[in-house]
Amino acid sequence: MSSERERCNSRHFTWIMKTCFPNPHQTTTICPQPYHPTTTLPITTTTITSLPDDVVLECLCRVPPSSLPSLSLVCRRWARLLHSSHFSDLRRRRSLLHHSVFAVVATDSGFCAASLTDGAWKIALFHPCYDAVALDDFHFLLAHARLASIGPRIFVIGRNAMVRYDTWTSTLSPRSAMNFPRKKFASAVVSGKIYVAGGGSRSTAVEEYDPDSDTWSVVSYAQRRRYGCIGVSVDGLFFIIGGLRIGAAGEGNEFSRATGGADAHAAYASSMDLFDVEARTWLRSRTVPGGGCVVAACAAAGNVYVLTSHAVELSFWKFDARRKSSNHGGGGGFGDWCRIKSPPFPVQVRVDTRMRFSCIGLGDKVVLIQVNGWCVDEMMRSGRSVREGMVLIYDCGSGEWRRGADLPDLFRRAAYVGVEC
C-alpha cells in the first residue's frame, strides 16, 4: 500500500470529528431557481452521525489500516462499529484484513506483548499492570491461559479471571471470568463470540462469552469431558480436539493433580467433537487419523490442521471442515482427512511433558511455534532439554514450509494468538 494512501493527518481527523455531530447553529436555506417566495425549502445538513450503520461501515472499511486505531477514538459509535464482527467480516470479504501473531507474557516487571510483523518480532506493549491486574495475579492468569482474539482485541482467559488487551490503544482491562473454573481447556471465536469447553471435572458445560455485554452463559453440554484439549472454529462450528478423555481407563495423573484427585481415569482422545453454534446442536464426532496424541491444532483457509505425535515422530494432518451446501445446518457433510508434509525440524523432537507447541492460523498460513522440548540427538549426548524457540510457517496453498523468525528469549514461555484487523 502506498505511503500516500496510509497518510492521515490531524486536519483530516478534525474534519471527520466535526462531521460526527450536527451543527446547532446551522440555519442555511436554499432558494431553487427560478425563485418564487412560496417555494423556499429548508435544507438540513447531513452528517455522518445521521447515516445508518451499514453505510458508515462501508466508509470505514476503506480507511487505511494504519488510521483505524485513531478512528476508534473519534466517538463511541465508531469504536463500537470498528470492533464489531460486521466490520471484520466486511474487510475479510474485501481481502483487507491484516494478520499478525501476538505473544503475551508476564515478566518480573509487568505485562509484555510482541507481534510477528514483516518477518520480525517487535515489542508491541509493555505494561506494569498496576491498574488492570496485580502482577502476581497476572503470572497466575497466564500460567494455563487460553488466548482468543476478536478484531484487534485479545482476551486472556485464565482459570478464574480474564483480561482484555486492546492492540490498537495498548490498554489492559479486566473482564468477567468464566462461570466454571477450567484449566487446559478448548476455546475458539465463532461469529464474534468466544466459546470454551473442557478443562474441568465438575461440569461438561460449554460456555459462550459476549464481549458487548461482558457476560458468560452456558449454551450446551459437551458429549464427553476432556482435559488439555484444543479449540478451533470453521464455518460456524466449534471444534474440540484431542486432550485427555476423562472417565476412561488409563493414566490420569496430570488431570488428578489439577482437579484435586477427582476422576483420575483418563486416556488420550484422538478425536474431535463438533458443535454447531447457531443451531446449538452436536454433529457426529470425527476421529483424528493415526491414533497419536494431538499436540497442536488450528484452523486456516477453511481447514482444520492438526499436529500429532507418536513418541519421536510428528505427523501433520488436514481436515476439510467446510460443510457442503446441501448439508449446511444438518448432519454435516465434510471433506476428508489428508496427511500433508510434516514440519521440517532440523533434529528429531521428543514430545513429552516438557514439550509444547502452539499452532496459529493466519489467513492462508499456519504458524507453528515450538516453545521447548527434547531434541533426541542432543539428549543422547548430554541428557539436557533444548529450548528451540523455532517458528515455522506453512503455506496452505503451496503446501510448503519455511522458517520464520525465532522467538526472542523473553517470549519462549508466552501464550500465542493470531490477530486480524
Check pLDDT > 70 for residue 9. Answer: no
Q: What is the mean pLDDT of the chain?
A: 79
| DSSP string computed for 158-175 | -SS-EEEEETTTTEEEEE
| DSSP string computed for 12-58 | HHHHHHHHTS--TT---EE-PSSP-GGG-EE-PPP-GGGS-HHHHHH
Q: What distance in Å separates the CA atoms of residue 360 and residue 353, rounded to the nearest whole number? A: 21
Check pLDDT > 80 for residue 396. Answer: yes
The pLDDT tens digits of the residues spanning 21-67 come to 555 554 444 444 454 555 555 555 667 778 899 888 988 888 888 88
Specify the CATH number for 178-301+312-340; select among 1.20.1250.20, 2.120.10.80, 3.40.50.80, 3.30.750.210. Answer: 2.120.10.80
Please report the pLDDT score of residue 152 as a whole number.
92
**Cβ atoms within 10 Å, residue 100:** 21
Please report the pLDDT score of residue 372 as a whole number.
62
Cis preceding linkage at 52, omega within 30: no
Please report the pLDDT score of residue 270 as a whole number.
86
Please report the pLDDT score of residue 84 as a whole number.
87
Please report the pLDDT score of residue 36 as a whole number.
52
Please report the pLDDT score of residue 28 as a whole number.
43
Count of all residues that appear for the chain in the document: 421
Question: 387: helix, coil or strand?
Answer: coil
Please report the pLDDT score of residue 379 as a whole number.
41
Please report the pLDDT score of residue 117 as a whole number.
80
Q: What distance in Å separates the CA atoms of residue 345 and residue 362, rounded to the nearest whole number? A: 21
Please report the pLDDT score of residue 109 as a whole number.
73
Check pLDDT > 80 for residue 374. Answer: no
By the 8 A CB rule, do 211 and 194 touch? yes
The pLDDT tens digits of the residues spanning 142-188 come to 777 899 999 999 999 998 889 899 988 888 888 999 999 998 999 99
CA angle at 355 for the pair 128 and 370, rounded to the nearest 5° = 70
> Binning pLDDT at 50, 70 and 90, where does residue 250 land?
very low
Which residue type sits at 310? H
Please report the pLDDT score of residue 29 as a whole number.
42
- For residues 227 and 350, the model is more confident at 227
Could you tell me which residues are beta bridge partners of residue 366? 361, 394
- For residues 403 and 247, the model is more confident at 403
**Ranges assigned E (strand) in 222-302:** 226-227, 230-234, 237-241, 244-246, 266-268, 271-276, 281-287, 293-300
- For residues 109 and 1, the model is more confident at 109
Range scoring the smallest mean pLDDT among 78-92, 262-276, 324-338, 395-409: 324-338
**Cβ atoms within 10 Å, residue 200:** 25
Please report the pLDDT score of residue 330 as a whole number.
45
3-state secondary structure 178-242: CCCCCCCCEEEEECCEEEEECCCCCCCEEEEEECCCCEEEEEEECCCCEECCEEEEECCEEEEEC
| Ramachandran sector of residue 301 (left: φ over 0; alpha: ψ -120 to 50; beta: rest) | left
**Cβ atoms within 10 Å, residue 80:** 13
CA-based radius of gyration for the chain: 25
Check pLDDT > 70 for residue 315. Answer: yes
For residues 360-382, average pLDDT = 70
What are the cell numbers at 119?
518477518
Please report the pLDDT score of residue 16 as a whole number.
54
Please report the pLDDT score of residue 46 as a whole number.
63
Question: 371: helix, coil or strand?
Answer: strand
What are the cell numbers at 143?
500460567
Please report the pLDDT score of residue 325 as a whole number.
60
What are the cell numbers at 11?
486536519
Query: What distances in angstroms separate CA 417 from CA 97, 100, 151, 235, 286, one per listed residue?
Result: 16, 9, 12, 19, 25
The pLDDT tens digits of the residues spanning 73-114 come to 888 888 889 988 889 889 988 888 888 999 988 877 778 889
Check pLDDT > 50 for residue 386. Answer: no
Quick one: what percent of the chain has pLDDT higher than 90?
Answer: 38
- For residues 246 and 320, the model is more confident at 320
- What's the maximum distance between 2 C-alpha atoms anywhere in the chain? 100
Check pLDDT > 60 for residue 6. Answer: no
Per-domain boundaries in the chain: 3-25+36-93, 100-175+342-421, 178-301+312-340
By the 8 A CB rule, do 352 and 312 touch? no
Which residue type sits at 44? T
